[in-house]
Amino acid sequence: MQMLKLLMLFLFFWNIAISPVCYGYSVKVEEKTFPEDSLELKEPRYIMPFEDKNLWLLFMNSKDEIVIREVNSKAKLVLNVGEKGKPSELVWCRGADSSELKISWRAKAEGKILLFNTIDLKTNKIDTPITVDKTTEPLPRIKLGCVKNIVNLVWYGERSDNKGRKYSIYASRSFDGGRTFSEPFEVTPQTRASIYPTLITDEKGNAYVFTEVVNENGREMVFRKTTEKGWEEPVSIGKIGTVSIYIRPLKVGNRLMVFWFNSYEGVPVTEMAYSDDGGKTWQRQVFETTRYFDLTGMQAVAGDNQNVYLVLSAVDKSKSEDDPRKLKDQLLFYYSNDGGKSFSGPINIRHDAFGSYTRAHLPNIVARGKTVVVVWNDYRNIRANLYMNYSTDGGVTWQDKDIPLEEPGKFNTVLHWDVNNLIEQQGTYYVLAHRFKTDAMNEAYPVLISFKLSK
């Protein structure tokens, strides 16, 4: 009898809480919701896989707490207990020990400060945060990378110089796992303005920064790197238009590449450049098929050293006023099978007969070799839903039907506008989004959706 009771309890729990649902398709989907957490919607949030099985979420809640939550047990750690100032922006990387988590954020109290902390997820020990910088007046655009005991931090600051307030990119490095950091280094000192920091940290801990700079000659895309010997001189990749938000760097084998979205006299277009000599010289390419496409999302990933993928969402400004595509975002996918030297034309990965009337945007992407999976926000059901499609041949062909990752039309579930929150762990895919409590869409909680591809 006792066993029967346990079995009934198990079945009840399985059925209402974690049962895989298929939504009429062959892909089994599970979801975990965290209605106890109210997310700060503008701020980034992340899935953090540890030791190949545990998943943790990192986010900021509406009480200005920086929360680390274990997915299975729902155990909660708060990182900034007792810390003064409103936190904003949030970045993380894994430390030398796989259970060690390193997090940086910006806070505004009496002044603007950049903070850094280390957490051991085995012991749940949280160190006292250290102040990396308060001299550059850091703003909420921060990038963080770690390899072994090297920690690279790059951020956007507005410290004044003798000509007044100056917007520039700064960096600081640690070689002792984040216990101490170097003085802030101005990565773009020769510029009048530079506002979008990016960062790649390679396996040796070298940092690579790409950023748009504005100077007397106009606008340029600039590359700068640092090794154990220090920062090298900046290299101009070339003149560019006005960048809006999206600069995505990538390192594929020894090839460095950067994708960016800019506009020339109001005409938007996406471009890229790559270097095979460590950043000394660059080859540029224009994605001509993106001309007039005003971007609302961009992610670039590599499946391996040959297969590189770019996915965009954008509205087509070239359409006439009465064409809904002038207002409704669509998805554009490109693949490269030569490591990013050349790319395909745009591939349609969304399959909706009436798609021109509704938006598809904020694509998230993950790839392993020729298998590439894209999850995006789709409004075909009027409410914001997550849909997925995948390719197993390097992005050339896709499933005929897009796969909904939740009950179509029931909820408003939204991806973050910037962070790529789709990961693969041992054959299971996880995507982190937020789900609004009502159609007023002013309060939301995290939802973690997982699925496996059908063979």
Partner 1 sequence: MSGRAKNNFIKICLLMILSVLILSCSNSTSEKKSLVEDPGSPKKVKMLKDRASQFWAAMVKGDLKEAYKYYDPFLRAKMSPEEFIEKHSAVKYHEATVTDVKVEGNIGTVHVKVKYSVPKTKIRQRELSIPETTTDFDERWLFVYDDWYKEYYLTYFDAGVAFY
Residue in 111, 407, 428, 454 binding partner 1, rule: CB under 8 A: 407
Residue placing its CB nearer to partner 1 in the complex, 56 or 379 = 379
Rounded distance, CA 31 to CA 352, Å? 24
Residue in 11, 17, 75, 286 binding partner 1, rule: CB under 8 A: 11
Establish if 445 lies at the interface with partner 1 (CB under 8 A): no
CB of 22 to partner 1, least distance (A): 4
309 and 303 Cβ atoms separated by less than 8 Å? yes
CB of 18 to partner 1, least distance (A): 10
From the list 211, 206, 231, the residue with the least C-alpha distance to 167 is 211
Where in 337-356 is the site for partner 1 (CB under 8 A)?
A: 352-354
Establish if 439 lies at the interface with partner 1 (CB under 8 A): yes
Establish if 15 lies at the interface with partner 1 (CB under 8 A): yes
Residue placing its CB nearer to partner 1 in the complex, 219 or 359 = 359
What is the contact mask toward partner 1 in residues 419 to 438, using x (rule: CB under 8 A)? -------------------x
Establish if 81 lies at the interface with partner 1 (CB under 8 A): no
Establish if 17 lies at the interface with partner 1 (CB under 8 A): no
Establish if 2 lies at the interface with partner 1 (CB under 8 A): no
CB of 1 to partner 1, least distance (A): 11
The gap from C-alpha 272 to its chain's centroid, in whole angstroms, comes to: 18
Residue in 14, 124, 286, 443 binding partner 1, rule: CB under 8 A: 14
Count the site residues for partner 1 by CB under 8 A. Answer: 32
Establish if 160 lies at the interface with partner 1 (CB under 8 A): no
What is the contact mask toward partner 1 in residues 22 to 61, using x (rule: CB under 8 A)? xxx---x---------------------------------
Residue in 45, 102, 224, 383 binding partner 1, rule: CB under 8 A: 383
Residues at the contact surface with partner 1, assessed by CB under 8 A: 3, 7, 11, 14-15, 19-24, 28, 352-354, 357-359, 379-384, 407-410, 438-441
